[in-house]
C-alpha cells in the first residue's frame, strides 16, 4: 500500500449523540480526524484536482452526515463516516477518529475505525 496520505485533523461537527435521551437533547461538538489513502499515488496525480480527494468537499460531507440524524454511539458515527468515505471518494483506505467531550475528569473519549476497499 502506498504511504501517500491526506489528513484532516480536528474537523468540528455538531450532532445529537449520546445514550441517555437527555444527552441527545442538546447538540454536541465533536472532533473528527481522518487519514485517507488515495487510490492514486501523489506522483500519479499530475497536479489535477480531479485526480485526488477534494478534502473540502469531503469535510462538508462528514459535517452533513453527522447532522443528518441523532445517534446513540460515537462508534456508529465513526463507522458511518468511514463507510461513506470509501463509497463516495477515491480512497482505498480511511482511518476515522471521533472525539467526544462528555466525561468528567477526562479531556475526551474517542473511538477509532479503519476501513479498506476489498
Known catalytic residues? Answer: 100
- Listed residue (89, 64, 65) closest to 79, CA to CA: 65
CA 68 from chain centre, in angstroms, equals 14
Q: Helical H runs in 1-118? A: 21-24, 55-67, 74-88
Which residue carries 461538538 as its cell? 29
In sequence order, which residues have a C-beta less than 8 Å from that of residue 63 and are 6 or more positions away?
11, 13
Which residue carries 466525561 as its cell? 103
Amino acid at each position: 500500500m502506498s504511504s501517500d496520505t491526506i489528513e484532516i485533523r480536528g474537523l468540528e461537527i455538531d450532532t445529537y449523540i449520546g445514550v441517555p435521551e437527555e444527552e441527545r437533547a442538546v447538540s454536541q461538538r465533536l472532533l473528527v480526524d481522518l487519514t485517507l489513502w488515495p487510490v492514486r499515488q501523489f506522483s500519479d496525480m499530475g497536479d489535477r484536482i480531479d485526480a485526488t480527494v477534494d478534502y473540502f468537499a469531503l469535510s462538508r460531507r462528514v459535517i452533513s452526515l453527522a447532522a443528518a440524524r441523532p445517534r446513540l454511539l460515537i462508534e456508529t458515527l465513526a463507522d458511518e463516516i468511514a463507510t461513506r468515505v470509501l463509497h463516495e471518494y477515491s480512497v482505498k483506505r480511511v482511518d476515522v477518529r471521533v472525539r467526544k467531550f462528555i466525561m468528567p475528569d477526562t479531556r475526551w473519549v474517542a473511538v477509532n475505525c479503519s476501513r479498506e476497499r476489498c
